[in-house]
Structure 1
Amino acid sequence: MTKEPDGRDLNLSLKLLWGGRTRPQRGRPPTLSLGRIVAAAVEVADELSLTEGLEALSMRSIATHLGVGTMSLYRYVPGRSELLDLMLDHVIEVPETDPGDDHGWREILTDAAHHHWKLCMDHPWYPFVDQSRPLLGPNSMRGLDRLFRLLRPTGLDDRTLMMMIGVQGDYVDGLARGYINERRAERRTGVSNEDFWRAQEPTLVEAMNSGRFPTMAALSESTFDFTHEQLFEFGLARLHDGFATFIDRGARPS
């Protein structure tokens, strides 16, 4: 069987994702199931993601949450790596309805980005999972299939569409990680972001008045007055502006 360096059994992970496992086993607790384990793992990860981080998620912490012995989980899933694959696909929600016919590629991608951002906010561990070599489960496959179907009328080739989808996904994940790290620091230290910067204010004012940083000293008072949501919308719009320029000049990727 194919074994990943992280210990993930690819064949077994794919079987689990696509429902190819499992048969009843002797001694299995009647109230336990793979679906219940995955749902519990998501709940535990949600709780830990804004304090200790995803690194604290373990088979033991999930078993404790379920009120069962740790070893009982291994009857359903071989380990944490495979469980993460299941968790990633479990939390993906594919919209049941399609946008109106008046939606072009920009509106379609904007809706997808907002959906992705909400996923990261609802499950703050999500953008921290290493997805450099992801396994596509039923939900992620259905979501990608839907997005390609909606974007096909643009006339852009599939490779170009996939690169646009990938660039946007990386943008959302990256910004979400920054925002979540800030929230995590607030939870971990008990110091709000506003109090953190307020504590630095006297030193920063002194530095600005020293004459060593004239450009910074001349910045307007509103320079840093924006939220992560505003930053998200600004960056997304500029990303799409770049796509639009590329498309308008003939959309021929090198």
Structure 2
Amino acid sequence: MHQEYSGSGDPAKSLELLWRRRPRPTRGPKPALTVEQIVQAAREVADSEGLGAMSMRRVADELGVGAMTLYRYVPGKGELLDVMLDHVYGELPRRVVPGDWRARLDEVARENRELYLRHPWLLQVAISRPPLGPNVMAKYEWELSTVEGIGLTDLEMDATVALVNGYVHGAVRTAVEARQVIQRSGMTDKEWWLAHVPHLDRIGDLEKFPLSARVGTAVGNEFDAPYDAEHAFEYGLERLLDGVSALVANRSAPPG
């Protein structure tokens, strides 16, 4: 899978773009493009063909201009990628759902999951150095607000949000890869499973692996496949929230 890294552009230029603080030219012809148009075109390429297809030249072609024209608005691909990320994060509704912290944190996980599924190219960006734009900051603020006032320290609040986001990232990556396998092979998981089971029963020495045979059969019977992304996500999210719940309960328990 193609990999890119956020935060790789010039810090000052990236921040000026992210916060739309770049000075407008006072001389010369009226600008023919806007940063928003460029970002939208870049996103459309990434959405339809993956991040590996997105380049300054390709975006310029989509907009019907020369590649050098883009550099009047965006210094380079690194800065463009940062703005793309911030732009996409602006899609998060950041709703404050009724209920307790668990319901709110559950909402964070699900909204982030839906964002990844709409834009799988996000999985191709390493964000250990996130773009410090307004939508990224608003996302973090919203996520932190779900665990504010429940007894966690500031470091624990940050770690809890990171834990949820990390879980969602991994779960969606696995789901997207499974979806890509179906698209490339032309065979559903059920078809793959049914094609293998008769041969496995005939060729495999399953008596040596009784637990694997029993559990694998149960999974196959339940999902008609060796894996179900939806079930895996739901199960993992519930267990993660159970862990946070245990920590919160420990914080609120009386001493002794």
TM-score (norm 2): 0.83
Task: Structure 1: give runs of 5+ residues left out of the alignment.
Answer: none
Q: Is the 8 A contact 1:40 1:62 kept in 2?
A: yes
Of the three residues 113, 117, 121, the one matched with 1:117 is: 113
CA offsets 1:184-224 (integer angstroms, 9 cap, x no match) = 23333444434444443344333434534333233363314
Q: Does 1:99 align with 2:97?
A: yes
Q: Is the 8 A contact 2:6 2:81 kept in 1?
A: no
Q: Does 1:179 align with 2:175?
A: yes
Task: Structure 2: give runs of 5+ residues left out of the alignment.
Answer: none
Residue 134 of structure 1 and its aligned partner are, at CA, apart by 1.1
Q: Which residue of 2 aligns with 1:66?
A: 63
Alpha-carbon separation, structure 2, partners of 1:58 and 1:36:
15
Q: Does 1:77 align with 2:74?
A: yes
Question: What SS does the corresponding residue of 2:120 show, helix, strand or coil?
Answer: coil
Of the three residues 143, 149, 157, the one matched with 2:145 is: 149
CA offsets 1:222-251 (integer angstroms, 9 cap, x no match) = 314263122111100000111111222228
Residue 18 of structure 1 and its aligned partner are, at CA, apart by 0.9
Q: Which residue of 2 aligns with 1:87?
A: 84
Alpha-carbon separation, structure 1, partners of 2:188 and 2:95:
39
Q: Is the 8 A contact 2:9 2:78 kept in 1?
A: yes
Q: Is the 8 A contact 2:7 2:131 kept in 1?
A: no
Residue 66 of structure 1 and its aligned partner are, at CA, apart by 2.0
- The 5 Å alignment of 1:21-36 reads 21-24=22-25, 26=28, 30=32, 32-36=33-37
Q: Is the 8 A contact 1:208 1:217 kept in 2?
A: no
Number of equivalent positions: 242
Q: Which residue of 2 aligns with 1:250?
A: 251
Give the counterpart letter for 2:234 in structure 1.
Answer: E
Q: Is the 8 A contact 1:175 1:232 kept in 2?
A: yes
Q: Is the 8 A contact 1:108 1:150 kept in 2?
A: yes
Alpha-carbon separation, structure 2, partners of 1:196 and 1:28:
58
User: Which is richer in helix?
Assistant: 2
TM-score (norm 1): 0.84
**Identity of aligned pairs, percent?**
38
Give the counterpart letter for 2:209 in structure 1.
Answer: F
Alpha-carbon separation, structure 2, partners of 1:107 and 1:201:
40
Alpha-carbon separation, structure 2, partners of 1:213 and 1:233:
28
Give the counterpart letter for 1:35 in structure 2.
Answer: E
CA 1:217–1:89 in structure 2 vs 1: closer, same or farther (change >3 Å)? same
Alpha-carbon separation, structure 1, partners of 2:6 and 2:135:
25
Q: Which residue of 2 aligns with 1:227?
A: 228
Give the counterpart letter for 2:96 in structure 1.
Answer: D
Residue 63 of structure 1 and its aligned partner are, at CA, apart by 1.9
Question: What SS does the corresponding residue of 1:222 show, helix, strand or coil?
Answer: helix
Of the three residues 209, 213, 216, the one matched with 2:212 is: 216
Give the counterpart letter for 1:89 in structure 2.
Answer: D
Cα-Cα RMSD = 2.6
Question: What SS does the corresponding residue of 1:91 show, helix, strand or coil?
Answer: helix
Of the three residues 33, 53, 58, the one matched with 1:56 is: 53
- Which deviates more, 126-135 or 194-203? 194-203
CA offsets 1:111-133 (integer angstroms, 9 cap, x no match) = 00000000001111112211011
Q: Is the 8 A contact 2:6 2:125 kept in 1?
A: no
Alpha-carbon separation, structure 2, partners of 1:247 and 1:117:
24
Q: Does 1:137 align with 2:127?
A: no
